[in-house]
């Protein structure tokens, strides 16, 4: 398993967090921890089955801005 961090703009409530977590898990994330205060998502995924750029694209797909944190 690999872990990546993503800064997400446009979230403002627990509903936003749930929506993003569900979208990421449907597209290969094993675990998602999104902090509303920092707006940073820590995403655990299987690097053999999931492309991290696709996970970021899925965040954009549901209307949020996201970028990988190096």
pLDDT reported for residue 3: 97
Whole-prediction pTM value? 0.91
Average pLDDT, the chain: 96
Helix segments in 1-70, DSSP class H: 14-26, 52-61
22-33 per-position pLDDT tens digit: 999 999 999 999
Return d(Cα 39, Cα 56) in angstroms, integer: 14
Contacts of 66 (CB under 8 A, 6+ apart): 6, 7, 8, 9, 41, 56, 59, 60
Specify the residue for token string 């990546």.
4
For residue 52, what pLDDT is reported?
93
Q: Mean pLDDT throughout 35-58?
A: 95
Q: Does domain 2-69 have CATH number 3.30.70.80?
A: no
């Amino acid at each position: 398993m690999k872990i990546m961090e993503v800064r997400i703009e446009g979230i403002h409530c627990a509903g936003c967090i749930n929506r993003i977590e569900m979208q990421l898990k449907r597209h290969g994330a094993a675990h998602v921890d999104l902090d509303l205060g920092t707006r940073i998502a820590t995403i655990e995924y299987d690097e053999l089955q999931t492309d991290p750029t696709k996970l970021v694209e899925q965040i954009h797909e549901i209307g949020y801005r996201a970028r990988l944190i190096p």
